[in-house]
A and B are shown apart, each in its own frame.
Chain A
Amino acid sequence: QVQLVQSGAEVKKPGASVKVSCKASGYTFSSYTMHWVRQAPGQRLEWMGWIKAGDGDTKYSQKFQGRVTITRDTSAITAYMELSSLRSEDTAVYYCARSLLGEPWYDYWGQGTLVTVSS
């Protein structure tokens, strides 16, 4: 069965960086795009960017351009999202979610990773 398992909760200080991992199993990793979506407390879902797991091509939301980097390791069947220059407003649950190449909807999601930014 398809599973996306994310790394555990993180607490970071303002200005630091965080890297969240998402390990995939149960499907052909390279045939899908992996997205990262975050949700601040009480807020709507917010798309951050994606990576095509096959060729590593990436696209980022303009809001996060320059601060977010999405990578993948095909041998580890894992995608990563790194967010730098953290501020308190980045406190949120971060999700990975997959979509079939060329389709914009997410059929499987990770369990979410809470990132707390606090001094």
Chain B
Amino acid sequence: DIQMTQSPSTLSASVGDRVTITCRASQGIDNWLAWYQQKPGKAPKLLIYKASSLESGVPSRFSGSGSGTEFTLTISSLQPDDFATYYCQQFNSYFGGGTKVEIK
């Protein structure tokens, strides 16, 4: 199985900060990667698919990049609504361990 490792596991940031989350795959997965946002008690929400394609309705401050084994999710200017946990997911439906974005 291809393992997905996210870093950091927790990130403290302030409103307006640029935030970057990394996801590494144990084997190359081309661009078959998605990013989700999850808030407490809620279902995950798709943000990015195919590594860099923005899901309809998702603010443009979210962006994704990478291919092969290393991927990043960037929030260009963190907003109050963005404090949540973020997960990456590879094509075989396995998820990373999550990155919790907290208020600094």
Residues of A within 8 A of B (CB): 35, 37, 44-47, 50, 61, 95, 97, 103-107, 109-112
Contacts and interface: CB of A to CB of B under 8 A. Distances in A.
15 contacts: A35-B93, A44-B95, A44-B97, A45-B89, A47-B94, A50-B93, A97-B43, A97-B44, A104-B32, A104-B91, A105-B34, A106-B36, A109-B43, A109-B45, A111-B43
Majority secondary structure, A binding face:
loop
A45 B46 contact: no
A10 to B, nearest CB: 17
Interface of B: 32, 34, 36, 38, 42-46, 49, 55, 87, 89-98
A80 B91 CA distance: 23
A44 B96 contact: yes
Nearest to B94: A47
Nearest to A45: B95
B92 A45 contact: no
B93 A104 contact: yes
Contacts of B91: 104
Contacts of A35: 93
Given A44-B95, A44-B96, A45-B95, 19 more contacts: A37-B93, A44-B87, A45-B36, A45-B38, A45-B44, A47-B92, A50-B93, A104-B89, A104-B91, A104-B93, A105-B89, A106-B34, A106-B46, A109-B43, A109-B44, A109-B45, A110-B43, A111-B43, A112-B42
A118 B34 CA distance: 34
Contact of B95 (A46, A109, A110, A111): A46
A41 to B, nearest CB: 12
B84 to A, nearest CB: 14
The 3 tightest CB contacts between A and B, nearest first, are: A47-B93, A109-B43, A105-B34
Contacts of A103: 49
A112 B40 CA distance: 12
Most buried by A among B90, B93, B94: B93
A97 B38 CA distance: 14
A104 B97 CA distance: 18
